[in-house]
Amino acid sequence: MVLPTNLKHVATIEEYNDILKNNENVMICCGRMGPMCVPVYDVMEELQEEYSHVEFRDMLFDNPHAQIIRSLPEARGFMGLPFTIYYKNGKVVAATSSIQNREQITEILDREFN
């Protein structure tokens, strides 16, 4: 169960754990193919080259394994798709709910992953 985007996906909890273990900087956007989600995937796709030190992934919100993201303490109070989580050395360093533009995303990437 993955999203039909051009990004690399996260399909299972095992994969999620591997990605966090093997990458220093990770951004995962968990959503559907809705109007608030698509713009975030679009920006991530564009940033992949410029931010080659960051692992960009998406995850289908309705995949049962996405419970790992839905239940993060940092996502408490989130009531808008997508849930976007930023991890440094496996730890959550930032999280946003609902649509974000390129400026808002790069502000977090530059702050947390530089």
Partner 1 sequence: MEQKKYDVIILGGGPAGLTAGIYLARGKAKTLILDTATIGGQMILTYQIANYPGVEKISGYQLSAIMKKQATTFGCEIVSNIKINSLGLDSPVKKVTVNNKITYTAPAVIIATGGRSRMLNVPGEPEFKGRGISYCATCDGDFFQDKEIIVVGGGNSALEEAVALTKYAGKITIVHEFDHFQAFEHAVTEAKNNPKISFIMESHIVEFLGDESLKAVKIKNLKTGKINKMNTDGAFIFVGYEANTHQLKDTGLELNKWQEVVADENMNTNLKGVVVAGDSRAKRYRQVTTAVADGTIAALSVLEYLNS
Contact residues for partner 1 (CB under 8 A)?
Answer: 32-39, 42-43, 46, 76-81, 96-99, 101-103
φ, ψ dihedrals at 8, nearest 5°: -80, 150
In the complex with partner 1, which residue's Cβ is closer, 67 or 101?
101
d(CA 110, CA 71): 26
In the complex with partner 1, which residue's Cβ is closer, 73 or 91?
73
**Residue 65 Cβ, how far from partner 1 at the closest point, in Å?**
18
In the complex with partner 1, which residue's Cβ is closer, 44 or 68?
44
Burial class for 69, CB neighbours closer than 10 Å (0-12, 13-18, 19+): buried
